[in-house]
Amino acid sequence: MTPSATTPSGTESPADLIITGCTVLLHDDQERLGFAPDAAIVVRAGIVEEVTTAAEAEGRAALERIDAGGQVAMPGLINCHTHAPMAALRGLAEDLPTEEWFNGVVWPVESNLTERDVELGAQLACAEMIRGGVTCFADHYFTMDAVASVVARCGMRALLGEAFFSSQGARGRERSLEFALRHRGAADGRITTALAPHAPYTVDDADLAATAALARAHGLPVHLHAAENRDQTDTSLARHGVTPIEVLERTGILDADVLIAHGTGILDRDLPVLARAGGRTAVATAPRGYLKFAWPTTTPVRALRDLGIPVGIATDGAASNNSLDLWESMALTSLVQKSAEGDPRWLTSRQALHHATLQSARAVGLGSSVGSIAPGRRADLILVDVTGPHTRPVHDLAATLVHSARSADVRTTVVDGRVLMRERELLTIDVPAVAEELEERLPALTRRGHGRRVQRYDT
Amino acid sequence: MTPSATTPSGTESPADLIITGCTVLLHDDQERLGFAPDAAIVVRAGIVEEVTTAAEAEGRAALERIDAGGQVAMPGLINCHTHAPMAALRGLAEDLPTEEWFNGVVWPVESNLTERDVELGAQLACAEMIRGGVTCFADHYFTMDAVASVVARCGMRALLGEAFFSSQGARGRERSLEFALRHRGAADGRITTALAPHAPYTVDDADLAATAALARAHGLPVHLHAAENRDQTDTSLARHGVTPIEVLERTGILDADVLIAHGTGILDRDLPVLARAGGRTAVATAPRGYLKFAWPTTTPVRALRDLGIPVGIATDGAASNNSLDLWESMALTSLVQKSAEGDPRWLTSRQALHHATLQSARAVGLGSSVGSIAPGRRADLILVDVTGPHTRPVHDLAATLVHSARSADVRTTVVDGRVLMRERELLTIDVPAVAEELEERLPALTRRGHGRRVQRYDT
């Protein structure tokens, strides 16, 4: 369906959904943000047909109508890097250095994971994300068939990748490819897929090169961790004489479309490497965990932006981040970047919203279909209440959204024109049932006496 | 009333309030935190009479009973340094360096403030704080009679101080004293007061020395900004050869009980000065603003704790912090301190909760009456829902509260045994009426063409 410019007429068939009375966050053709008050959004067949005035939409027929007075309509938020099933491990490994977090808790526990654990963890994560206004997430985990099934049922959009280590042999990479091909375009197109090598320190060069060849051959993007922290970069330099980003270049990964998680260990010498990347490169930043692990640096957002690289916002998994709250990640990105650059004028609220909307959409390979509310785009959008005492008065609506609003202010979440949460009521996931079954499984899931690990952290 | 150890009996008069079925956060006599499941809290005459089991409380008579299944009862949070009326300016001065924030926007606008503006801003702030589980706040502002009146009506507890600059002459200090004496013990004892010089860079040594003498003579604490950032410390050293903390010592302020806001510019040389302070010294940390202003350091919490100095949690005013969300401040304190110390094991969730409860109570001079839920303490407490998808499962309840729970999870807020919010419904403040009147006043309030300022920022 193409964008419609029709005016109301008695013969036009009713729209599927009209949201009216809201202020709409819009992007202009210069990628600047603006706000249209007293607006209405007309949705048909899962697509934004028109953004018009509330007055103009009054006479339009619609199968469903949402009065969104006092609310802001925004593009749905996109969690550009997470491990949804790890919601099951939220709070299990606290106040630990990275190595102990992996080797002492997370990787031993992950050797117990069953498909049902993954499915329940992903359901809990999707429930949290829908409630927090996240409409799309990029997931990187194991047993991803279970996650794909959850995404299909709960109505979210996702970029999914089956993670692998070289310790699994060639079979890991093959399974990642099989997953990507099997699920690409599933759930009415809401599922897209990526190849998902874990990281340059757990996937060797030959395996990365083979992955790059598969990405090219099948037109698949690659989603992986790289230069997560400065230690990983230092170790890579000491062992191999190259940085993790240089490893991605020499193995051909940078000739594919690639989504790099974290990149807090990206050095100045990596910037020209990223600048000459043959594919589309994007980086996901999830600053909460960097603080919690006491990593010495954060994602170099300003340097990446200077290269034109989109930087999307992310939460990482709940086992390290404790939440999948994109609002917190968006605000922290602004705060931490100001601090890291020593510049309070940098990463304004409008920039933060641009990262959380269009840049995040680009980061997950959906830059032409979601990330803004405009005719022809998929109708992935959220309604945010700004009438609470903590969001009044509004001197600057962008600042209100980034620095004052909270995830619980999201009233309604819509994906592909379908309402997944209405007035804070989740419509597609039964949280008490999921949480109850998951909690029964925790003693078996969290057992660590067996001495097994899915992998060893040794950067 | 003294704590009761009585068992249920037919002749005992009904309690005023029994909260039952919750998990209660308790402090032991070693100041460690623990959680008592399936517990009940019995409140009589504004005081916690007993913490017992839900089963034991079942047969007790009470005028009011709250079933708090699935919720955690915690001491009400304490905002140890704010400027409540500045809620009116939330979002007005964004992405600016400290000096421009003060000189270009905030101090010119504050020269327009009327008593009614202050009252409305404070009402909005109190509404936000009650909704976020804050039961007590330390306020430092102008026209504080209006704030005292709001506190009396809305039911919160507060430590209030009328701010002054030396540019006001002796009259500023005198009015701060008059305010402190007039309101001390007001609102049935919920209001306590402090002398409130603005800061060593805006109040001269003679004025500080006179303030210290008044504090001693009248048994009043002093609440002020000091060593807010490193620039202020550097300027003080360059102009006077001493740090702001050394100024507080030489003027006798440190011989009074003193609450220091921020202290991110505290140097190692200040630590022995603070160690030998004659009065009770406490520091309030509000880390969000330090990041937003891109200050190079944060409050040296670890060094202060090594001296036994309580460090309370705060939000500062909403004009810089954009919110009065103590949950965010508590989590950020943990995250930023880990990062600043380069130590992920430091400032655990239990430590963060200790800062937010007992240490914050001590910081505002109420260490023996609030800050923990125990027989004989004032019944200032909150009920927090931990059944949402973002707080499940619970592997570590302290981590759930600090890193996963959000201010909107507070269901019920109680001060002095009186319910101020029940199931998220505010009972003492009419937010729509307040916000509407405030918004009508904003054009006059935010006018800046007049060229006036209440003060000039020149550290």
Same domain, A261 and A396: no
Same domain, A66 and A190: no
Token match 């409540």: residue?
B84
Q: Which residues are registered as beta bridge partners of A67?
A: A20
Structure tokens at A270: 């990596």
- Mutation for B interface: A325, A335, A447, most B CBs within 10 A: A335
Binding-face residues of A in 394-413 toward B, CB within 8 A? 394-396, 399-400, 403-404, 406-409
Domain that holds residue B40: 15-74+377-426
Q: How far apart are the C-alpha atoms of B305 and B283, rounded to whole Å? A: 10
Structure tokens at A156: 């979210």
> Percentage helix, strand, coil, to 5, in chain B?
40, 25, 35
B94–A348: do the CB atoms touch at under 8 Å?
yes
Q: Give the angle B172-B178-B180 at the CA atoms, nearest 5°.
A: 105
B397 within a domain of the structure (yes/no): yes
- Mutation for B interface: A339, A348, A391, most B CBs within 10 A: A339
Residue B318 · residue A391 · CB < 8 Å: no
pLDDT at site B5: 41
**Which residues of chain B have a CB within 8 Å of the CB of A444?**
none
CA distance A181 to chain B (A): 31
Assess B291–A contact: CB distance below 8 Å, yes or no: yes
Q: Are strands A15-27 and A33-44 parallel, antiparallel or unpaired?
A: antiparallel
Assess A181–B contact: CB distance below 8 Å, yes or no: no
A184 within a domain of the structure (yes/no): yes
Same domain, A162 and A206: yes
Assess A320–B contact: CB distance below 8 Å, yes or no: no
CA distance A459 to chain B (A): 18
What is the distance of C-alpha A406 from the center of its chain?
A: 18
Say which CATH number the domain at B54 has.
2.30.40.10
- Mutation for A interface: B101, B293, B322, most A CBs within 10 A: B322
Binding-face residues of B in 64-103 toward A, CB within 8 A? 87-92, 94-98
Question: pTM of the predicted model, to two decimals?
Answer: 0.97
**In A113-220, which residue ranges form alpha helices assigned H by DSSP?**
115-131, 144-154, 170-183, 205-218
pLDDT at site A458: 83
pLDDT at site A11: 58
A1 within a domain of the structure (yes/no): no
- Cβ atoms within 10 Å, residue B9: 8
Same domain, B102 and B238: yes
> Which strand (E) or helix (H) includes residue B119?
helix B115-131
A446 within a domain of the structure (yes/no): no
B438 within a domain of the structure (yes/no): no
Q: How far apart are the C-alpha atoms of B347 and B345, rounded to whole Å? A: 7
B403 within a domain of the structure (yes/no): yes
What confidence tens digit (pLDDT) does each residue in A58-104 have? 999 999 999 999 999 999 999 999 999 999 999 999 999 999 999 99
Q: How far apart are the C-alpha atoms of A336 and B357, rounded to whole Å? A: 26
Q: How far apart are the C-alpha atoms of A231 and A459, rounded to whole Å? A: 7
A393–B342: do the CB atoms touch at under 8 Å?
no
pLDDT at site B123: 98
B385 Rama class: left (phi>0) / alpha (psi -120 to 50) / beta:
beta
Structure tokens at A84: 């949804």
A457 within a domain of the structure (yes/no): no
Number of domains in chain A: 2
pLDDT at site A2: 34
Same domain, B180 and B227: yes
Same domain, A146 and A45: no
Which of B92, B344, B409 has its CB closest to that of A292? B344
What would the DSSP string read from start to end of A204-251?
-HHHHHHHHHHHHHHT--EEEEES-SHHHHHHHHHHHSS-HHHHHHHT
Same domain, A67 and A110: no
Assess B345–A contact: CB distance below 8 Å, yes or no: yes
B291–A338: do the CB atoms touch at under 8 Å?
yes
Residue A194 · residue A222 · CB < 8 Å: yes
How does pLDDT run along chain B (459 residues), one tens digit per residue? 333 444 444 457 999 999 999 999 999 988 899 999 999 999 999 999 999 999 999 999 999 999 999 999 999 999 999 999 999 999 999 999 999 999 999 999 999 999 999 999 999 999 999 999 999 999 999 999 999 999 999 999 999 999 999 999 999 999 999 999 999 999 999 999 999 999 999 999 999 999 999 999 999 999 999 999 999 999 999 999 999 999 999 999 999 999 999 999 999 999 999 999 999 999 999 999 999 999 999 999 999 999 999 999 999 999 999 999 999 999 999 999 999 999 999 999 999 999 999 999 999 999 999 999 999 999 999 999 999 999 999 999 999 999 999 999 999 999 999 999 999 999 999 999 999 999 999 999 999 989 899 998 887
Nearest-CA residue of chain B relative to A323?
B404
Same domain, A105 and A179: yes
- Weakly modelled stretches of chain A, pLDDT under 70: 1-11
**Which residues of chain A have a CB within 8 Å of the CB of B345?**
95-97
Same domain, A96 and A217: yes
Same domain, A213 and A245: yes
What would the DSSP string read from start to end of A144-168?
HHHHHHHHHHH--EEEEEEEE-GGG
Q: Are strands A311-313 and A381-385 parallel, antiparallel or unpaired?
A: unpaired
**Which residues of chain A have a CB within 8 Å of the CB of B432?**
387
**Which residues of chain B have a CB within 8 Å of the CB of A89?**
395
| Max CA pair span of chain B | 72
Same domain, B186 and B297: yes
What is the distance of C-alpha A11 from the center of its chain?
A: 41
pLDDT at site B125: 98
Same domain, B307 and B397: no
CA distance B353 to chain A (A): 14
Which of B96, B325, B438 has its CB closest to that of A390? B325
Assess A438–B contact: CB distance below 8 Å, yes or no: yes
Say which CATH number the domain at B160 has.
3.20.20.140
A53 within a domain of the structure (yes/no): yes
Assess A451–B contact: CB distance below 8 Å, yes or no: no
B323–A390: do the CB atoms touch at under 8 Å?
yes
